[in-house]
Amino acid sequence: MPDVSAADLVLTGGRVHTVDAQDRIAEAVAVRAGRIARVGAAETVAPLIGPRTRVVHLHGRSVLPGINDSHLHGVWLGSMWPALLMDQLAGSGGHSHEPPPDGMPEGPPRLETEADRRRAILRTADLLASFGITSYTEPGLGPGEDAGATGCFGSAALHDYAELAAEGRLKARVTALTLFGELDGRSSAAELLAGLRDFKPPADVPGRFRVAGVKIFADGIPPMRTAWTDRSYSDGTHGALLVDGNSDAEREAALRTMIDAAHDAGHQIGVHATGDRTTRVVADALATALARDGRDARHYLIHGDLLAPRTLTVLAAARIGLNTQAGIPVATEPMIVDALGADALRDAWPTRDALDAGVRLSLSSDAPVLTPDWRHGLAAAVTRRGLDGSVRGEAQRLAVAEALRAYTVTPAWQDGMEDVKGSVEPGKVADLCVLDGDVFAVEPRELPSVPVRMTVLGGEVVYEG
């Protein structure tokens, strides 16, 4: 018998970009009990409209899967917004989380209490809902930052998230990684091993919050000459790993020990790795760990500023993801040239090359480093145009459809939830973003001006503009 029970919500009369395997476009979508019940032509969805169905006439507006920002510091963003680090640190390398140099703004005061942290998380919840974001990854909360300067990254925040999720107050699905070292700072194999053994994160809240794995900071960033590189910097140095050790060899061995231990404990691993030597070593270490047991762990590199072609091949073959930010290269390319020379640009932020090599590419904001508004990130990925109008790394441009997948289905893969979310298909959760225009119809540089009109999370309207 056909399923003709009434839907709770129907969106009809628009362009529904399903972002399924065929990138099909429909006219309408029906939602029932928090999941997508039917997608297709308006007349095929109409039979699910009942007396209590809310019907939204799109009038040509477009519907996308809910956006997944797969690397976003939610507590920190809520404490800083609308300030962004890229604005404050424009002269010091972009996506560094280190304290600003003398004379730079210090940002908000330290979050001291549970009320402070919860307020920041809820502020982020409202903000992201207004952008159509229905999932995000909080990449690094844990005991390594319990005494941190900001109060935004300690282990208490994990419990705040779990409690807010259980209370039904989050407006997005949140995945978190634990952190056993310092944010953008030192760590040690001993600390990570002790954390894996002794630290007990809060229990998952199904469908709303879960602790998926471990974040490791392998190195710094190239513009600050703190990334570990094969090329030498202009001052003759090569940077170093952030892991404790008395030599490059000792630090590399300790990093490999950390990766092996986290993998063997069953965790997903996200590694901040930017220098070409670091990305090569991390890719090899993750691939070696995966080859031991064949587990589909969804490990991934974060940022990946410098990636040689061989490293991309290793990532693709081992099913290791790459999570990067399209807005970083258009802002910091001159800093890379100053630090490492123009030759380094051949391997800098190779988003096009990564996709062509078969790497699973996720785009994210790293907010509050960059704005959490994904429309800016998608535009940057497609145009490689900075705020000053300059186009940088033009050969690495993505098509609109590719960039959209990097904000939807591929982050769902990173979360291990590609069968649950990331596209508009029957049976998946009803996470939707409604735009006043069509991402495929406007000039990419104009996308940030296209308003978000509605955000739906699990069938519930959490934002309506």
Q: 21: burial class by Cβ within 10 Å (0-12, 13-18, 19+)? A: exposed
Q: Which DSSP helix (H) or strand (E) runs through 114?
A: helix 114-130
CATH topology of domain 9-64+428-464: Urease, subunit C; domain 1 (2.30.40)
In the numeric block, which tokens belong to residue 33?
């009990």
Query: What pLDDT was estimated at residue 34?
Result: 98
Split at pLDDT 50, 70, 90, the class of 98 is: very low
DSSP per residue, 284-301: HHHHHHHHHH------EE
Tell me the residue type at 4. Answer: V
CB 378 within 8 A of CB 337: no
Query: What pLDDT was estimated at residue 106?
Result: 54
Residue 61 above 70 pLDDT? yes
Q: What is the dihedral of CA 321, 323, 329, 334, to 10 degrees?
A: -80
In the numeric block, which tokens belong to residue 446?
């104009």
Angle at 80 between CA 76 and CA 83, to 5 degrees: 130
φ, ψ (nearest 5 deg) of residue 389? 90, -10
Residue 392 above 50 pLDDT? yes
State CA 304 to chain mean position distance: 13
Query: What pLDDT was estimated at residue 387?
Result: 66
Q: What CATH code would you report for 67-415?
A: 3.20.20.140
Domains of the chain by residue range:
9-64+428-464, 67-415
Split at pLDDT 50, 70, 90, the class of 97 is: very low
Enumerate residues 6+ apart whose C-beta is below 8 A from 192. 180, 181, 214, 216, 258, 261, 262
Task: Give mean pLDDT, residues 98-103.
Answer: 37
Least confident of 31-45, 128-142, 389-403: 389-403
Task: Give mean pLDDT, residues 88-101.
Answer: 44
pLDDT 10s digits, 244-281:
999 999 999 999 999 999 999 999 999 999 999 999 99
Enumerate residues 6+ apart whose C-beta is below 8 A from 70. 135, 136, 137, 323, 362, 363, 364, 411, 414, 415
> What pTM does this model have?
0.94
Split at pLDDT 50, 70, 90, the class of 108 is: confident
pLDDT 10s digits, 188-227:
999 999 999 999 999 999 999 999 999 999 999 999 999 9
102 closest CA partner among 92, 114, 115, 93: 92
φ, ψ (nearest 5 deg) of residue 381? -65, -35
CB 15 within 8 A of CB 60: yes
- Please give the share of the chain, as a percent, with pLDDT higher than 90: 89
